[in-house]
Amino acid sequence: GIVIVLMIPVGTAAVPTQQHIDLHAAQYEFTPGRVEVNQGDTVTITLHADDVVHGLYVDGYGLETRTVPGVTEQIIFTADNGGKFKFRCSVSCGSLHPFMIGELVVRPNQPFWKAALITIISLIAMLIFLWQTSEKRI
């Protein structure tokens, strides 16, 4: 008989990591204005107020803190909700305060889904091969 060995690299799920983000707040923007993490990561945001009192509120997570110049505050959370979320200054910091908005992007854990898809395709290929081999024996 013929023996076929299927060699398919199977990835593993991305291991959640610790993400540390230094977020600077100054009238009227956050730096960086866009933060990207992977779903499942533990995220520590250290908020710095560079000029006046600023706050941070993260939509979708209900997290909030505030800080004054020279003092930092931290928010620590698990990024378990995937998608795009706005973060905004939660302290009235001047006339353009309503426009002080940034974006948190929580990317899905892609390596897990790729590994699952490769495994399913491998199983289907193996079942087809076994079915065809058993048909020939009859």
Rounded distance between C-alpha atoms, residue 134 and residue 82, angstroms: 45
96's CB contacts (< 8 A; 6+ apart) are: 27, 28
67-124 confidence digits (pLDDT tens): 999 999 999 999 999 999 999 999 999 999 999 999 999 998 766 566 677 888 888 8
Q: What CA–CA distance (Å, rounded) separates 61 from 95?
A: 26
The model's pTM: 0.69
Spatial distance between the Cα atoms of 127 and 122, rounded to a whole number of angstroms: 9
Please tell me the least confidently modeled range out of 41-55, 76-90, 122-136: 122-136
Of 77, 79, 74, the C-alpha closest to 37 is: 79
